């Protein structure tokens, strides 16, 4: 007979909640917007929503720089990071980095053909999206984007975030399809 775990944390304590949410392994992305003031941020709150129409979502804190920039831009890019891109994830997660176009100086990127959003190279996948809907998510906004374009690579390892640390996952090459 299995015993259910006892409640062990205060759901009103953000530190307790962050640790509990950290038990769920996620992929790591960089979300970006183009225009006169390009900006990017590391996000692990990214997921597919629908195939028809093709929709994805990303959650952005209301107090973050990206919140205002994404709302104003009306479009965004998502770069799904590969295992070798941990330093890129850390760069765009650093709230003290220089903002504006120079934040992209140390990374390889190209502007999206449809949105102009900076898309990182060497990634597992890249998406360009137009803002489709927004929803209240407490201290975050849930931005849903309609996918306009995508590129993908099957021969790279994934970067994950689990239990407060970056991790790697190596795909089973026998499952990779041509």
What pLDDT does 1 receive?
Answer: 55
The model's pTM is: 0.85
**For the residues 134-146, what does the mean pLDDT come to?**
96
What pLDDT does 21 receive?
Answer: 67
54-61 and 140-152: which strand pairing? antiparallel
Mean pLDDT rounded to a whole number for the chain: 88
Range from 42-51, 55-64, 98-107, 160-169 carrying the lowest mean pLDDT:
160-169
Q: Write the Ramachandran bin of 35: left for phi over 0, alpha for psi from -120 to 50, otherwise beta.
A: left
> If we measure between CA atoms, which residue out of 171, 167, 161 comes closest to residue 124?
171
Quick: pLDDT tens for 43-75: 989 999 999 999 999 999 999 999 999 999 999
What is the rounded distance in angstroms from the CA atom of residue 164 to the CA atom of residue 15? Answer: 12
Quick: pLDDT tens for 9-24: 777 777 777 777 666 6
What pLDDT does 160 receive?
Answer: 84
Which CATH architecture fits 32-171? Roll (2.30)
């Amino acid at each position: 007979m299995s015993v259910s775990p006892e409640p062990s944390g205060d759901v009103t304590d953000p530190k307790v909640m962050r640790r509990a949410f950290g038990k769920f392994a996620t992929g790591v992305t960089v979300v970006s917007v183009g225009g006169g003031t390009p900006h990017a941020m590391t996000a692990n709150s990214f997921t597919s929503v629908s195939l028809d129409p093709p929709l994805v979502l990303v959650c952005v804190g209301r107090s973050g720089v990206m919140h205002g920039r994404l709302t104003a831009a009306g479009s965004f890019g998502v770069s799904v990071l590969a295992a070798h891109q941990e330093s890129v994830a850390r760069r765009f997660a650093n709230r003290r980095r220089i903002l504006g176009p120079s934040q992209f100086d140390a990374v390889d990127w190209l502007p999206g053909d449809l949105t102009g959003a900076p898309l990182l190279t060497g990634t597992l996948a890249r998406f360009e999206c137009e803002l489709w809907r927004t929803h209240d998510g407490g201290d975050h906004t849930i931005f849903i984007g309609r996918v306009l374009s995508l590129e993908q690579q099957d021969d790279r390892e994934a970067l994950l975030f689990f239990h407060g640390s970056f991790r790697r996952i190596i795909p089973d090459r026998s499952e990779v399809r041509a």
